[in-house]
Amino acid sequence: MNARLFYALLITIGLFIFAYFFSWIGAIAQLAVIGISILFLIDFVLLFSVKEPIEASRIVAQRLSNGDENPVRISIRSNYSTSAWLEVIDEIPHQFQVRDFTLRMHLNPNQEQSLNYTLRPTSRGEYHFGDIRVFASTFIGFVSRRSTIEQTRMVPVYPSFIQMRKFEMYAISNRLSDLGIKKIRRIGHTMEFDQIKEYVPGNDVRSINWKATARSGNLMVNLYQDERSQQVVNVIDMGRVMKMPFNGLKLVDYAINTSLVISNIALLKEDKAGLLTFTNKELTVVKPEKRRTHIQRIQETLYNLDTNFLESNYERLLVGLKTYLNQRSLILLYTNFETYSSLERQLPYLQRIAKDHLLVTIFFENTELTDLLEEESRSISDIYIKTVAEKFNYEKKQIVKSLTQHGIHSILTPPKELSVNAINKYLELKARGLI
């Protein structure tokens, strides 16, 4: 006999004995006790008479995308011959810090149904899912039965490949403007020579090759194609300035996600994409290539990166760029300057980098300060706080002005608009023939 059923019978017999010896409580009470006992027994038998009452499985992707909503589906089947009310507890990874994650559902006899929810990770790394625990009860509701379905699994969280695919899809369909990417008119002949062909109506008359025309006796024109194989290198500062959080993600994660997007767009444009990260001591380098499979190598490198609590060494960055880049490249440097003095310490190195490469320095608006400046002041302390916030906001603008004066391109952007602004800058510089 099942141990649970045995205990249930003991409890039922005990209730009958209680009702028999204490008959002074009245016939109605005795009937109530007997009725409750019978219902309890029926409830128990309905729940525990099935050997494997619940089947469940978790369907989740092989890897999750950082900073995005990732779908998770739990498929549950009831083997009960009666309707069942289920309380489903999925043991999601500890990084989400959710201790009461519960889903509820109702299943008819032998019915299978799915529960769907999403998870938004905010850090890269290994995420461990646990088991699925299901508490089943009948319409009586006196007893519930727990079923534990083993579903332990490790799922890695990678830089935002969902965002990368979204921009890739719009780029292929020539609809980047739908995401806020500007259409930029090509300026001048930022193209390389392809071949000489006989003139046909519609060719640009400015491209007529008069020497070839004289030799052949027919009107000949030069044909050009877009310049290709230009080097686009994302450089990420992995120091303490990139630890500042925004909407759950650190600034370094916004930079990593955008680096992946820019690298993919560059490869679609048949440019070479590369990656370099630097701290106070270490460099991580992925040399520029234009093979489509190169994006996987960049993604694997970005997966393992993290910031430290020290100030990054820009002299080491300068040496690394001279060592690993053998031609002029577009350098997209993701960092953060909160004060003008922090820029002054690194400005000599930025100037030396800008002599050899086309440098774009990307840093972030403090959106909390912006929101603070828009609030109404109601006390002297509010005025003081807004004055300090205005000072920091002014210094950000001075940083942009100083970089421009030294011939260094810059992007001051809110974190959530980083990808769009970085792509706009890349396409602008490419259209102007600066790289």
pLDDT tens track for 289-298: 988 889 999 9
Token pair in block for residue 277: 């990260």
54-158 is classed CATH 3.40.1160.10: no
pTM of the model: 0.79
| Cβ contact 402:346 at 8 Å | no
| Cβ contact 157:68 at 8 Å | no
**Residue 25 pLDDT > 70:** no
State how far the Cα of 393 lies from the Cα of 339, in Å rounded to an integer. Answer: 9
Of 371 and 328, the one with more pLDDT: 328
List all residues 6 or more positions away from 282 whose beta carbon is below 8 Å from its beta carbon: none
| Cβ contact 332:233 at 8 Å | yes
Domain ranges (residues) in the chain? 3-48, 54-158, 161-185+228-431, 191-226
State how far the Cα of 93 lies from the Cα of 71, in Å rounded to an integer. Answer: 14
Token pair in block for residue 314: 């820009």
Mean pLDDT within 252-273: 93
State how far the Cα of 406 lies from the Cα of 344, in Å rounded to an integer. Answer: 12
Residue/partner pairs of 184-190 with CB below 8 Å, 24 or more apart: 184/424, 184/427, 184/428, 184/431, 185/431, 186/431, 187/431, 187/432, 187/433, 188/433, 189/224, 189/433, 190/227, 190/430, 190/431, 190/432, 190/433
Beta bridge partners of 84: 107
**Residue 280 pLDDT > 80:** yes
pLDDT of residue 38: 82
Structural element, H or E, at residue 247:
none
Neighbour tally for 344: CB within 10 Å:
12
Q: Which range has the worst mean pLDDT, 52-61, 177-186, 414-423? A: 177-186
State phi, psi for 137 to the nearest 5 degrees. Answer: -145, 160
- Decide if 54-158 and 161-185+228-431 have a common fold: no
Q: Which range has the worst mean pLDDT, 129-143, 218-232, 281-295? A: 218-232
- Nearest Cα to Cα of residue 163 among 358, 426, 415, 365: 415
Q: What fold does the segment set 161-185+228-431 form as a domain? A: Rossmann fold (3.40.50)
DSSP assignment, residue 212? H
pLDDT single digits (tens) 40-75: 888 888 888 888 999 999 999 999 999 999 999 999
Continuous H helices in 274-329: 294-303, 314-324
Continuous H helices in 121-236: 161-172, 210-216
Beta bridge partners of 64: 157
Token pair in block for residue 78: 């009831």
Helix, strand, or coil (residue 310): coil
**Residue 2 pLDDT > 60:** no
| Cβ contact 107:60 at 8 Å | no
Token pair in block for residue 288: 């520029």
